[in-house]
């Protein structure tokens, strides 16, 4: 039972990470590979707050303050990284953000006050399933509502055609940065929640492989679809575990099967499960939207 709860909780954290990365990669079309870096910043600042200076208030209030601290520090890092890096395009941006996330990880390894290479221990258990999923809902509502307004449309227009967006008066740099900062902020929140639920964090838990896995989640679900990001996060979090349960042979080959499934998906459905579409309940029920 505890194992199941643990998995569900991980799903929630990865949903936040995937939905926030989707804002940067899928909506604004800016190829960022540094999401694990922002996740780490959120985790370590949130954990540092809980270990060194928790306030004498109920845990759940501390949790919200901690998530706020994690999110805001990751956003500030997003501004600092975004201003120089977002002038780059495509692969170059990917390399720059990848480099940044590795710098963050190495800084943490060399910071003894947060445990350095030994990892950060004794973090209080403030988060449980309920709090994590409350944040999942906040993240999804925040980003999907943002996308319905003019700011969200401006962010999508950058992905569609940057020159045309500029030609109709959209300050593309400002909106790229907006997407980047909001996306990295929610990654920071996910980091704080991760710290408060695991009670132990280690710099190697935030290496660049995780940036790639989060990227895989949104590609699997369909770049640009929030629903897709959620489904992608759930599938890629559960798949290795499900394969582990399916007998010894499959369990031993599970990473191979996992990779093969990804290759097959990309061959048959390169736009991802959802493409750019959203799952729409009223459309599912056959009702026509007014």
284 contributes a contact to another protein by CB under 8 A: no
CB of 221 to another protein, least distance (A): 17
Of the candidate spans 62-70, 71-79, 156-164, 194-202, the one that interacts with another protein by CB under 8 A turns out to be 156-164
What angle is formed at CA 34 by the lines to CA 268 and CA 92, rounded to 5 degrees?
A: 80
Under a CB-based contact definition with an 8 Å cutoff, are residues 194 and 45 in contact?
A: no
What is the SS3 assignment for 274? coil
165 contributes a contact to another protein by CB under 8 A: yes
6 contributes a contact to another protein by CB under 8 A: no
Under a CB-based contact definition with an 8 Å cutoff, are residues 155 and 27 in contact?
A: yes
Tokens of 172: 């593309």
Q: Which of 178, 189, 190, 234 binds another protein (CB under 8 A)?
A: 178
Closest CA to 183 of 153, 205, 152, 219: 152
Q: Which of 166, 262, 265, 273 binds another protein (CB under 8 A)?
A: 166
Nearer to another protein among residue 55 and residue 137 (C-beta): 137
79 contributes a contact to another protein by CB under 8 A: no
DSSP character string of 139-184: HHHHHHHHHHSHHHHHHHHHHH-HHHHHHTT--HHHHHHHHHHHHH
167 contributes a contact to another protein by CB under 8 A: yes
Stretch 242-281: interaction string toward another protein, x if CB under 8 A: ----------------------------------x-----
172 contributes a contact to another protein by CB under 8 A: yes
Nearer to another protein among residue 144 and residue 199 (C-beta): 144
116 contributes a contact to another protein by CB under 8 A: no
Tokens of 123: 């973090």
What angle is formed at CA 109 by the lines to CA 90 and CA 207, rounded to 5 degrees?
A: 35
What is the SS3 assignment for 201? strand
Under a CB-based contact definition with an 8 Å cutoff, are residues 18 and 224 in contact?
A: no
Residues forming contacts to another protein in the complex (CB under 8 A) are: 141-142, 145-146, 148-154, 156-157, 160-161, 163-172, 178, 276
């Amino acid at each position: 039972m505890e194992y199941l709860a643990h998995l569900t909780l991980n799903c929630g954290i990865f949903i936040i990470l995937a939905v926030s990365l989707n804002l940067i990669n899928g909506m604004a079309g800016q190829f960022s590979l540094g999401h694990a870096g922002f996740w780490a910043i959120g985790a370590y600042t949130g954990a540092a707050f809980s270990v060194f200076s928790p306030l004498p208030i109920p845990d759940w209030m501390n949790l919200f303050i901690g998530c706020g601290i994690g999110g805001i520090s990751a956003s500030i890092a997003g501004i600092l990284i975004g201003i120089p890096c977002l002038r780059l395009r495509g692969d170059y941006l990917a390399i720059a953000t990848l480099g940044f996330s590795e710098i963050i990880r190495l800084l943490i390894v060399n910071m003894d006050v947060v445990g350095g290479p030994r990892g950060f221990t004794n973090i209080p258990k403030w988060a449980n399933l309920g709090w994590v999923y409350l944040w999942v809902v906040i993240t999804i509502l925040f980003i999907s509502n943002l996308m319905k307004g003019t700011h969200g449309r401006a962010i999508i227009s950058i992905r569609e055609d940057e020159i045309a967006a500029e030609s109709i008066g959209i300050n593309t740099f400002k909106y790229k940065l907006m997407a980047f900062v909001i996306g990295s902020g929610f990654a920071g929140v996910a980091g704080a929640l991760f710290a408060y639920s695991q009670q132990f964090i280690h710099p190697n838990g935030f290496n660049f492989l995780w940036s790639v896995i989060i990227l895989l989640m949104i590609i699997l679900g369909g770049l640009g679809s929030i629903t897709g990001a959620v489904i992608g996060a759930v599938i890629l979090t559960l798949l290795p575990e499900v394969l582990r349960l399916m007998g010894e042979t499959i369990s031993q080959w599970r990473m191979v099967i996992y990779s093969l499934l990804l290759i097959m998906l990309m061959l048959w459905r390169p736009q991802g499960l959802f493409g750019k579409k959203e799952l729409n309940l009223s459309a599912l029920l056959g009702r026509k939207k007014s």
